[in-house]
Structure formats: structure tokens, C-alpha cells
Structure 1
């Protein structure tokens, strides 16, 4: 631990609390590295915390009161206790605040610093997996998701290790979990495997995650879409209807149900979903059906629905007209083949 010479202590509160002396010129303070918000002089700072836990509690209180700048300040003060026992958790909280305010660089820095303190911090690993996956860096996201699940096995004192490439459902079934296991890591990893067309692995991950949160409409939605992509329409419908029972007004789930009906050749049922459940006008439902049929590779079937949508509402936006032109071109291309 660095020994601070008394002659280097300044008279101001901020420097006295948050900076050192000569060595600070070599390495920026935690405040300089991680704080971004209102000027500290405008924060309602009261006294100096005597322990790491006191500073964390102050930060937690400020966060509950939606005072993120003060929370950030207090969490960074907690990091000043070099022998602190919760540094990784505090850095995760700092990262969460920055992420909520869309300060991605600072959030990433806080998360990476947290992993330096504890490479097995499940929350941090899971969050990084989600962040990289949302940016399209699925290989990186996959690694973090697997590390999060692997760290959870360590937490549960399970000897099994998770490889970087899961090729057997039996491995997933053998994983230990409880109500504190990383739900988003299992779900995120499932999405990554779905995107690489490894649907059976994805479905096993989703179903494993249901043991963590059995009433998750989001998980059931992903299960349904995975079965849809693999062409198993009965299972896709079963999971999607279960998701709708939990969240009846979810437009994405309603949309997926219509997609499943279309994939299964039940066009009228898809129209009914759009009109009755999603409260669309008839021409809007026709347009949506035509578009989905086209992207499913049925351009010839799409044409009459798109044409009828235009006939019912000629002033509709240009998108429907463009979709009809595309469907006609694709249909003609198929004829010429």
C-alpha cells in the first residue's frame, strides 16, 4: 500500500480525500479516471466516510434517491480504502451508473477494473457479454457469457467447467444453478447460438434458464422464435402462446405469433393476430402479411396482399409500394430460373 507523506496533503477537501501527492502525477486518481457529472462543489457531500462500507452505503442511498452524481462520488470514495473487500462490486455499480447515462467508455473502464479486482465477478461478466453482443461483437459477448456461467459454477462449488464452444446438450443439462444464477448470460448465450443456427443448443440454454425464472415471458419468446427458425412451428406456437399468457400486450410476441402462423401456412390466422390482437387497420395487416411472406421467401404469395393493402389505402407510405415492387421482381426472377 502506498505511504502518503504528510507534507503532500493539501488543504482542500477534494484533494485531501481523493488525491495523493507525487505519485498522482504518474497515475490519475480514481476520481479523475471514473467521475463524470456535476462539479463536486455542487454535490451535497457530508463529511468523510471512515470505512469502505460507510461510503458504499452513502452511495446506495444517493442512488435510490436518483442522485447518480453523488452516488458516483461516494462509490469512488469507497475505492480509496485500498484494503476494501468490495472493490469489484463497487466498480460494477460505478459502471452501471455510467452505462445508464450512456457513458460507454467509462462504463467499460469500470467493468474492466472490476475484473482486475475479481475475474469471477458474475454480474460484470454478464454485463460485458450483453454490451458486446448488443454492439454486434458476438464472439466477444459469447466469451463473457460463458465466463459468467463458469464463474457461477464456481460459486455453486460445482466442479464442472464450461468450454468456449458448447457442442452437447448434455453439458448444459449438467450445469448447476439456483435463483441467483445469471439469467441474462444463459439467455444471451442462447441468442448467440441461435444466430449461428445451432438451435438445439440455444433451446437447451433457454430451457435451462427457465429453472432460474420460470415465469419469464422473454425467455419463452426466445424459445418460440428459436423453434420458428428451426422450422418446428407447433413448438414455436406453444412457447409463444405461453409468453403471451404472461404478457398479453407485448407487440413483439404478437408479431412473432403471426410470423409463426405464416411460416405454417396459416395466413388468415396471422391476419387475425394483426387485426384483433395488435389493433391494426385492415390495410396495415395486409401490408404486414405481404412483407413477412416476402421475407420468408414467398414473393408470389406476398403480391396480392401488398396490392390489396395499396388498393384499400392508396395514400399509404412509400414502403408498401417499394415492397410490392420488390415482391414482383423476386417473383419474376424465380420464373426466369
Structure 2
């Protein structure tokens, strides 16, 4: 029976696969119900049916409360829905379940926060829940706890050193912390794996701007957008970085190059000039 489901998934016949997986839950053997429900949850989640995905994942935990991947996916699901406390809690549960698998002496008592040294002492291997580590890392970054976030991203990269997502998150965390050299190295590593990754290109441009290399930042933007948009972006991010005086000429160039771009660039220019005046007072 499982073969029918696998072939349906392989052929991208998602509806048939879903039907077959749900049908298999009526069979008397319950040994693989947790895995079946996990797959049903993944199918629903990929379609944006979060309520049905949640139902399937929670049902899977009834059969196997320590199913690491299910716990991890519930963390992802809740975080996507901005239910961050629940997301964090399930990410920690996934990590805890993995520590038990690895026979680690470390178990997590507090599902809200760990110290840097506690994160560092967690065991991982290639089967560990990389998304759970990454998910908590992102939440710590949002809370401004960049060094602890980096410890989580380090674990993700130990699990999968070629994870573009983990490299980008690590790079961006270093950027927010002001470590531009490390931010550059991790972002470049991500771009080596995926040269056309737009997020990586934008992050690289931001790092160049923060390091004072406006020319390189402009070149990076110009590789994947037209000149007026690139110049407007440079101006906009310079304003965000507290350098409105440096933003002005780039925004003026954006307006000169494309009159239809006038509105956005002009709004940014007015903002830059207003901030320059404030700085001069």
C-alpha cells in the first residue's frame, strides 16, 4: 500500500497521495501511523492548510510523543503563524527529543531560553533537527540576543554545513551585531552555493553599505535590478543606517534616470533631506 502513496507523491499527484495516506490510517496496523500523519501534515502545510497540518501533527504525537520531526514542524508551523511562544516551545521539544536519541546528558528544562554555554554543549549529528536550531536562532535574533542566536546557527551548520538558509541567518545575525567581516564571510559562502539568491545579494549589499563601501553595494544591487531601483535602494538603506546626507545624491540620481520612479525615490529624498536638517540643528 505504501508503494501507491510513494508513486503518487513522486508523480506529483498530491491529491491521490493524500487520499491513500488518509486511507491507510484505517488499516489495523498502527505501527507507522505517526509517520503517515507526519506526511499528511507536510502535504497540508505545503498547501498552506495550516489548521489541517496542525491537526495531523498533533495526532502523530498521540502515537509517538517524541517524534522529533513532528515536534520540529509544529515549531515551524506556529512560528509562521506568529505564535512564537508555542513555536519556540516545540523547537525546544524537538531538540530535547534529539538529545535523548543521542544519549546526551543535556536535557532542556526551560522551554523559553538557554544560555550560550548551554546551547554550545548540546549534541548534534547529521540527523538532528536543523530547522529547530535555526528557528530558535531567528527568534533570539529578533529579541536582540545575537550571540546566543549565533550559537544556534552554529549548531544548524554543524548539522548541514551547506545550508544556505543557515549561512544567511548567521551572516545577517553578525551584520546586526556589527561584525561585518564575519557577516561578509557567511553571506559570501551562501552566494557560492546559490549565486542567484536574491536575499543573499541584498544582504551582501547591506554589509557593504554598513562597511562604508557604497560603490560595491551599488554594483551588487545593479546585478539584479535596473539602475534607478538600485540607486533608490542604496539611498533608502543609507537612510536606515543613519546616513541621510550620503543618501541624497543616490536618490537624486534615481529620480534623474527614470521619471516614472520619481514618486518612491522622491519620498525617500524628502525623508533624507528632513533627517539631514534635523542633524544640523
Report the equivalent of 1:39. none
Pair 1:171 & 2:85 matched: no
1:228-239 mapped onto 2 (5 Å cutoff)? 228-239=175-186
Q: Is residue 81 of structure 1 aligned with residue 27 of structure 2?
A: yes
Structure 1 residue 292: deviation in Å? 0.5
> Distance in 2 between the 1:302 and 1:237 partners?
22
Cα deviation for residue 317 of structure 1 reads 5.2
Counterpart of 2:230 in structure 1 is 285
Q: CA deviation at 1:167?
A: 3.7
| Match in the other structure for 2:17 | 71
In 1, the alpha carbon distance for the partners of 2:104 and 2:3 equals: 32
- Structure 1: any 5+ residue segments left out of the alignment? 1-53
The alignment yields a C-alpha RMSD, in angstroms, of 1.8
Q: What TM-score comes out, normalization by structure 1 length?
A: 0.78
Of the structure 1 ranges 74-83 and 290-299, higher mean CA displacement relative to structure 2 is found in 74-83
Q: Which has the higher contact order (CA 8 A, sep 6+)?
A: 2
Post-superposition offset of 1:282: 3.1
1:195 pairs with one of 111, 135, 142? 142
Correspondences of 1:255-294 after superposition (within 5 Å): 255-275=202-222, 278-294=223-239
Pick from 94, 105, 111: which aligns with 1:148? 94
Query: In the alignment, which residue of structure 2 is the partner of 1:30?
Result: none
Against the structure 1 CA distance between its residues 279 and 67, is the aligned structure 2 distance closer, same or farther, given a 3 Å change threshold? Answer: closer
| Map 1:112-151 → 2, pairs under 5 A | 112-151=58-97
- 1:307 alignment partner, one of 248, 252, 264: 252
Secondary structure at the counterpart of residue 253 of structure 1: helix
Do 2:130 and 2:155's aligned partners in 1 also have CA atoms closer than 8 Å? no
Structure 2 Cα separation of the partners of residues 196 and 107 of structure 1:
28
Change in Cα spacing, 1:314 to 1:140, as seen in structure 2 (3 Å) is same
Give the distance between the partners of 2:154 and 2:271, measured in 1 at CA: 38
Supply the distance in 1 between the matched residues of 2:213 and 2:10 (Cα, whole angstroms).
Answer: 49
Displacement of 1:225 in angstroms is 0.4
Give the alignment partner of residue 161 of structure 1, picking from 75, 88, 107: 107
Cα deviation code 1:132-170 (max 9, x no counterpart): 212222222111111111111112222311232334222
Which of the two has higher C-alpha Rg? 1
**TM-score, normalised on structure 2?**
0.93
Number of residue pairs matched by the alignment: 280
Determine whether 1:223 maps to 2:170: yes
1:52-63 correspondence to structure 2 within 5 Å: 54=1, 56-63=2-9
Q: Does structure 1 conserve the Cα–Cα contact (< 8 Å) formed by 2:255 and 2:262? A: no
Contact 2:88 / 2:112 at 8 angstroms: preserved in 1? no
Tell me the distance in 2 between the aligned counterparts of 1:102 and 1:241.
Answer: 32
Q: What is the distance in 1 between the residues matched to 2:133 and 2:100? A: 16
Query: SS in structure 2 opposite 1:316?
Result: helix
CA distance in 1 between partners of 2:184 and 2:257 (Å): 30
- Give the conservation status (yes or no) of the 8 Å contact 2:50–2:77: no
Distance 2:8 2:221 in 1: 45
Once the two structures are TM-superposed, the CA of residue 214 in structure 1 deviates from its matched residue by 1.1
